[in-house]
Amino acid sequence: MTTFPRFVAPAAAVRTLFNGFEAKLGATLLAAGLLLASAHAVPAHEFKVGDIEIDHPWSRATPGGAKVAGGFMVIKNEGAAPDRLVAVSSDISARSEIHEMGMANGVMTMRPLPDGLPVPADGSVALKPGSYHLMFIDLKHPVKQGEPFKATLTFEKAGTVEVTFMVEAIGAKADSQHDGHMSMPQ
């Protein structure tokens, strides 16, 4: 009968091996837990009423003394019929309006849309700097970065929905955080 030499690992080596394994496992589980917690800590920033979905309402912080602030978002209409954003209101301002910016003879113009903003059937419209946007006029206090505010949007068919505007830096642009879902109707 053939015998093989028996290997017996010293107890210290076994403890080191398992301590290293436990440390790696613990670190992996901690990282996975933090990842899951952070995913749940930031809720989706979308709101829905009827066939209308409002994606990521946001605003820019305002300097002290500013009397107006803008509101931006993407409005998606998942329905077969067009709808229209007809009104907006908020506690941060005395009044709110739906606006459009454009170019006329080489000059940037801005005008209110008293009849509201059409949202095409099975389509979307982007409210972003330099284009369609909301104006919060006669601010009651400065809009501060990191301090969200609420507004109520009223649609002709879908009805009314309260949304929360996230407030970003004064110079925030419709860039990487917002571009992925901003498309203008043709």
Could you report the per-residue pLDDT of 101-140, keeping only the tens digit for each? 988 899 999 999 999 999 999 999 999 999 999 999 999 9
More confident residue, 95 or 4: 95
Nearest to 93 by CA among 58, 67, 56, 129: 67
Cβ atoms 138, 67 nearer than 8 A = yes
What's the confidence (pLDDT) of residue 173? Answer: 79
- Cα–Cα distance between 12 and 170 in angstroms, integer? 59
Q: Is the pLDDT of residue 73 over 90?
A: yes
Taking every pair of Cα atoms in the chain, the longest distance, rounded to a whole number of angstroms, is 102
What's the confidence (pLDDT) of residue 37? Answer: 44
More confident residue, 113 or 5: 113
Q: What is the dihedral of CA 173, 177, 180, 185, to 10 degrees?
A: -40
What's the confidence (pLDDT) of residue 24? Answer: 58
Token readout for 146 is 């990191």
More confident residue, 173 or 77: 77
Could you report the per-residue pLDDT of 8-24, keeping only the tens digit for each? 555 555 455 456 656 55
Q: How confident is the model at residue 39 (pLDDT cuts 50, 70, 90)?
A: very low
Domain residue limits, the chain: 9-42, 46-181
Cβ atoms 137, 27 nearer than 8 A = no
Q: Is the pLDDT of residue 90 over 90?
A: yes
- Among 11-20, 29-38, 47-56, the range of highest mean pLDDT: 47-56
More confident residue, 2 or 107: 107
Q: Is the pLDDT of residue 168 over 70?
A: yes
Amino acid type, 72: F
**Assigned CATH for 46-181:** 2.60.40.1890
What's the confidence (pLDDT) of residue 178? Answer: 46
Other C-beta atoms lying within 10 Å of the C-beta of residue 51? 18
Measured at the CA of 113, the angle between CA 80 and CA 176, to 5 degrees, comes to: 70
Other C-beta atoms lying within 10 Å of the C-beta of residue 54? 21
